[in-house]
């Protein structure tokens, strides 16, 4: 049987995206150089300080570099961003001296391998192309500052996955697939712009005159950088809002109730059951996550045993939506979810919520499965 849908997930250089002539919009922020090498004695030089998963060095020479341990066997990644002026990408001796300068000592380095790459801020104009969908780096490119490239690709796959499954199972409506771009593109744009900010406030942008000096003005310069880092860079490492807080509230397949949303903040996440948001997480007991009870399909979370759900269940059955009703009689869950009924999609985002079944249950199930008109 020939394939009915085509997932284009062939990475940043996507040959298939090019074949379809799909445009990428955006820019290259900076060029960077990464060196991978083996230095078995380097970890020992961190004996008097903490060896963290990433060490940032700021030097008055006006470059900023990052050292990242890769393995316990002494493999490292040395990352310089942006490329220092006048240095060629393959000029390992110059980069090695920069590394020695940052560490403050020379040490043996083996098998250096360089990689020159751009920090990108790029998005395909659309992630849908008929029955072909772009996923991951083929659809968007982000600066690595924040660690979101793969994260977004997985988010794309989850969104596209349940929609294609719904269509193949026969209950997904004719408008369902086009909501993939409508939901994912704005989310990716938001995340990519945050990562671009993280990249812009790196390296040279954090360097101040005298910051290496053992003097009063050196102390003042370091204090200024410290404050700048706390203000501008905390979100690079603390990005709960970008990870959990993104929402599909303007999607045509979620039904809102007019409640004001918690602010979308890159760093902080405020759980909310407003339609479009990720269903708030709750541990029901140790090792017992509320998510495990939602199952792989639509789930109607029922937080009051007295509420009738038969009409909604019947409407779902009529169109073939697999729907699980999960009764949870818990004050903590009621307070977190703020409503007695919450309809949760297969990707754990809220499709609708209310204190009773809607008057027109068939209309609701048609909207959430992409079978209703968007206008
Ligand atoms: C320095 C750096 C640090 C990063 N750190 C992070 C991080 O901390 N967290 C994070 O989430 N992301 C991070 N990323 C980004 C992440 O690596 C990418 O976003 C992710 O790998 C993209 O996955 P992908 O599957 O879309 O593309 P790729 O990983 O590029 O995979 C595409 C695959 O398609 C295959 N392929 C290509 N053409 C064809 C074809 N014609 N037929 C069949 N197969 C084909 C390729 O061989 C490849 O295996 C980082 C990136 C960089 C550069």
Q: Say if ligand 1 is within 6 A of residue 9 CB.
A: yes
- In the structure, how many helices (H) and strands (E) does the chain have? 10, 15
Q: Would the pTM of this model clear 0.75, i.e. be above it?
A: yes
Element (H, E) at 129: strand 128-129
**At residue 137, does pLDDT exceed 90?**
yes
What is residue 354's predicted lDDT score, i.e. its pLDDT? 98
pLDDT digits (tens, 9 = 90+) for 114-134: 999 999 999 999 999 999 999
Rounded mean pLDDT, 230-240? 94
Q: Say if ligand 1 is within 6 A of residue 148 CB.
A: yes
Question: What residue ranges in 21-84 does DSSP mark as E strands?
Answer: 24-38, 55-59, 63-69, 75-80
pLDDT confidence bin for 23, thresholds 50/70/90: confident
Rounded mean pLDDT, 336-359? 98
What is residue 117's predicted lDDT score, i.e. its pLDDT? 93
Ligand 1 atom 28: the closest Cα is on which residue?
Answer: 11
What is the rounded distance in angstroms from the CA atom of residue 118 to the CA atom of residue 32? 6
Q: How many whole angstroms from 118 Cα to the centroid of ligand 1? A: 14
**At residue 317, does pLDDT exceed 90?**
yes
pLDDT digits (tens, 9 = 90+) for 166-217: 999 999 999 999 999 999 999 999 999 999 999 999 888 899 999 999 999 9
How much is the mean pLDDT over the chain?
95
pLDDT confidence bin for 375, thresholds 50/70/90: low
* CATH 3.40.50.620 for the 250-375 domain, yes or no: no
What is residue 51's predicted lDDT score, i.e. its pLDDT? 85
Question: Are the CB atoms for 116 and 94 separated by under 8 Å?
Answer: no
Q: What percent of the chain has pLDDT over 90?
A: 89
Rounded mean pLDDT, 309-336? 97
Q: How many whole angstroms from 137 Cα to the centroid of ligand 1? A: 6
What is residue 368's predicted lDDT score, i.e. its pLDDT? 98
Query: Bridge-partner residues for 140, per DSSP?
Result: 123
**Lowest mean pLDDT, pick from 100-104, 251-255, 336-340, 346-350:** 100-104
CATH topology of domain 29-119: D-Amino Acid Oxidase; Chain A, domain 2 (3.30.9)
Question: Are the CB atoms for 342 and 350 separated by under 8 Å?
Answer: yes
Tokens (6 digits) for 345: 């999609």
Query: Bridge-partner residues for 353, per DSSP?
Result: 342
Q: Are strands 6-8 and 132-134 parallel, antiparallel or unpaired?
A: parallel
**At residue 59, does pLDDT exceed 90?**
no
Residue count (the chain) = 375
Separation in Å, CA 20 to CA 201, 241, 255: 36, 34, 34
Q: Say if ligand 1 is within 6 A of residue 144 CB.
A: yes
**At residue 160, does pLDDT exceed 70?**
yes
pLDDT digits (tens, 9 = 90+) for 258-290: 999 999 999 999 999 999 999 999 999 999 999
**At residue 63, does pLDDT exceed 90?**
no
């Amino acid at each position: 049987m020939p394939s009915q849908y085509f997932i284009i997930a062939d990475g940043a250089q996507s040959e298939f995206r090019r074949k379809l002539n799909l445009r990428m919009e955006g820019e290259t922020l900076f060029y960077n150089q990464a060196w991978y090498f083996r230095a078995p004695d380097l970890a020992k030089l961190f004996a008097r300080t903490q060896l963290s998963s990433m060490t940032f060095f700021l030097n008055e020479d006006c470059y900023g570099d990052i050292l990242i341990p890769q393995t316990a066997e002494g493999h490292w990644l040395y990352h310089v961003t942006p490329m220092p002026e006048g240095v060629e990408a393959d000029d390992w001796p110059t980069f090695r001296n920069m590394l020695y300068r940052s560490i403050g000592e020379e040490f043996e380095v083996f098998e250096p391998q360089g990689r020159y790459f751009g920090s990108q801020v790029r998005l395909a104009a659309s992630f849908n192309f008929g029955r072909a969908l772009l996923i991951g780096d083929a659809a968007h490119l982000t600066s690595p500052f924040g660690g979101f490239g793969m994260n977004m690709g997985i988010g794309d796959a989850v969104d596209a996955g349940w929609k294609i499954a719904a269509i193949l199972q026969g209950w997904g409506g004719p408008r369902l697939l086009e909501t993939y771009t409508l939901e994912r593109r704005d989310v990716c744009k938001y995340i990519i712009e945050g990562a671009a900010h993280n990249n812009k406030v790196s390296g040279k942008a954090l360097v101040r005159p005298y910051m290496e000096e053992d003097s009063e003005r050196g102390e003042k310069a370091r204090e200024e950088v410290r404050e700048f880092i706390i203000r501008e860079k905390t979100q690079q490492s603390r990005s709960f809002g970008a990870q959990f807080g993104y929402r599909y509230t303007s999607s045509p397949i979620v039904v809102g109730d007019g409640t004001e949303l918690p602010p979308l903040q890159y760093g902080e996440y405020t759980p909310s059951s407003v339609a479009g948001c990720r269903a708030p997480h709750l541990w029901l007991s140790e090792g017992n996550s509320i998510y495990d009870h939602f199952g792989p399909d639509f789930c109607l979370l029922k937080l009051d045993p007295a509420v009738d759900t038969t009409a909604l269940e019947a409407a779902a059955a009529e169109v073939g939506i697999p729907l699980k009703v999960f009764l949870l009689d818990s004050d903590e869950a009621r307070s977190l979810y703020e409503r007695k009924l919450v309809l949760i999609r297969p990707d754990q985002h809220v499709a609708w919520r209310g204190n009773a079944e809607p008057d027109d249950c068939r209309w609701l199930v048609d909207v959430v499965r992409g079978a209703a008109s968007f206008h």
